[in-house]
A and B are shown apart, each in its own frame.
Chain A
Amino acid sequence: MIQVERLTKRYGNHFAIEDLSFTVEEGKIYGLLGPNGAGKSTTMNIITGYISATSGTVAVDGHDILEEPSAARACIGYLPEIPPLYMDMTPREYLNFAGELKGMKKAARKEQIQRVMDRTGITEMADRLIKHLSKGYKQRVGLAGALMGSPKVIILDEPTVGLDPAQVIGIRELIRDLGRTHTVILSSHILSEVQAVCDQVLIISAGHLAAQGTPEELSERLSGKSALNITALGDLEKVRSIVESVGQIGKILEAHEQNGETSLKVEIPAGRDLRAELSAALAGAGCPVTALATETLSLEDIFLQLTEGETAAGQPEAEKEPEANEQGEEKEE
């Protein structure tokens, strides 16, 4: 649906995003995840054609965003970070305007306005001025505007920022609902949100694509194989030999003995649960198990690991400064 290839955006000497490539498939919900200033908004602004990339290409439904801008933009409904609302209009007028911009015919527009308003729950606010609406309603009106014209792709930049918890849940449900009929890309710096809503997660850090996959895949792939912490009564040598005799078991990562209890950290292959076999084998050999726990890294850990690892591992101190600048710059944009 969307092909992004080697996308780079440079502000002066600073790269907001650098060499970013990914593909968005039809009918899925994608989450762009990253800390503030990672380049999420920049990426979205480029895909929607609001700003141009320094280099690289974006194709939406086969239409290059520079060669056929109108055709590409017709496929996209975009809700920027700050909803682009005209305060002196009512939601109904605004939706009508958004539909007209998308080139919809009058009859189709009228019908769709009603449908979109029902879907986003703004029907009772339809004829109040937008400037009198609360933030949550403004967000919904913006979202409704993005839905006008039934675009194939809906792009939402931080759709739940600044909303109260009830509204956040409402918007998330709406997004999940949208995912059934549209391709959705949303950005967020809140992990649980992406985990709850998205089919696919793209983690962006300092302008690079750090990781990509389903939330489960990411947890799994990035934690490597999951590990099992096991504690049993008995001396080290005995417990170790029993554990090693269990089939399919991986390496023993840590082992130590304390007060007649042995603690082991054992690697187990992905997708396998060997807890039952292990405890049965140990109990059978006269070493009762006192504790047993699977250790999987949560997406949160991976996220932190990835995004912090990026700055900690790769970049010298001096390069951290421009990152702070970038956040300022992006606000000015």
Chain B
Amino acid sequence: MIAIYKRELKSFYSGMMGYLLDAFFILVGGLYFTAVNLQGGYSYFTYTLYNTCFVFLIFVPVLTMRSFAEERHNKTDQLLLTSPVSLGRIVMGKYLALMTVFVVPLAVLSICPLLLKMGGDFSNLSNYSAIFGYFLLGAACIAIGMFISSLTENQIIAVLGTFAILLLTYLMSGIRTLFTTGSSLALIVFAVLLLVISLLVGLNSKSLSLGCMVFVIGGAVLLVLFKVRSAALTTAFSALLGYLSVFDPFQNFVGDLFSITAIVYYLSVAGLFLFLTGQSLEKRRWN
């Protein structure tokens, strides 16, 4: 695991990529810090962080696009997958290297609250808890990006796919407000979701009847819910969208709240996607 970590990190910093990414991160962070905190006179570094969330949309896809896609494209994954190192350790080694590239600029930006402190007397606790939240947000995004990179051997697809997914989650809180009216829309969306699930079940088990059965039973449940408790359906739909909005929980930290829910949420998202990355590599063996 350490071997993979070291190699990955070295490949970032032996070329331009690592420096460029880190410079970009620090530049945007520094710009907003200057504008919001230094010129605007706010002592809340959290505002800077909140405003620079969009950086992840560019930083993460470019950071993660290579991780598994390049290995697969160059066939170097054969070296890793036939070595005595277990799959989990390969994934963790890569992930930790990516996290390191992300933590470097974040550590530099962590000096900013100290600079602010020089200008006045206030507690920096909320600033640092927000930086911690920001770190977790990044950890979750990087896990998502790495997972998408493990699905393809084309880096362009990986970068665009990650960008699209992150953009969707970034805009999700906005999208969510569009869908509050009426439960019929929720019904349609759930029906489509059900169709996709039953298709997947049908294809994976290679049995048409099983897929149809899942769809019919699920459809019946949905219809009953729609007739009896249509409000529940709308709430469930809204909650579902809420879970997909990766950037939302971070706002708790911005609002001066050290949110355990947000921490658990980010750690679960990161854990889930690391697990899925391992599964997608394992699946490749079995295709």
Query: What residues of chain A have their CB less than 8 Å away from a CB belonging to chain B?
Result: 45, 48-52, 69-71, 73-74, 76, 78, 80, 82, 84-89, 93, 97-98, 100-103, 145
Contact = CB atoms under 8 A, between A and B. Distances in A.
6 contacts: A49-B285, A69-B86, A76-B82, A84-B74, A97-B3, A101-B4
Given A86-B11, A97-B3, A100-B3, A70 B84 contact: yes
A84 B75 contact: yes
Contacts of B75: 80, 82, 84
Given A70-B86, A86-B7, A100-B2, A78 B78 contact: yes
Interface of B: 2-4, 6-7, 10-11, 14-15, 74-86, 284-287
Contact of B285 (A50, A71, A97): A50
B7 A97 contact: yes
A73 B84 contact: yes
A74 B285 CA distance: 18
A101 B79 contact: yes
A231 to B, nearest CB: 57
B90 to A, nearest CB: 9
Given A86-B7, A88-B11, A97-B7, A49 B74 contact: no
A49 B3 contact: no
Contact of A101 (B74, B85, B284, B285): B85
B78 A50 contact: yes
A45 B11 CA distance: 27
Contacts of B82: 48-50, 73, 76, 78
Contacts of B77: 84
3 nearest A-B pairs in the assembled complex, by CB-CB distance: A100-B3, A84-B79, A101-B83
Contacts of A84: 74-79
B74 A87 contact: yes
Residue from B4, B15, B77, B84 with most neighbouring chain A CB atoms (10 Å): B84
Contacts of A100: 2-3, 6
Given A50-B285, A88-B14, A98 B74 contact: no
Contacts of A103: 84
Nearest to A48: B82
A172 to B, nearest CB: 23
Contacts of A101: 3-4, 79-80, 83-85
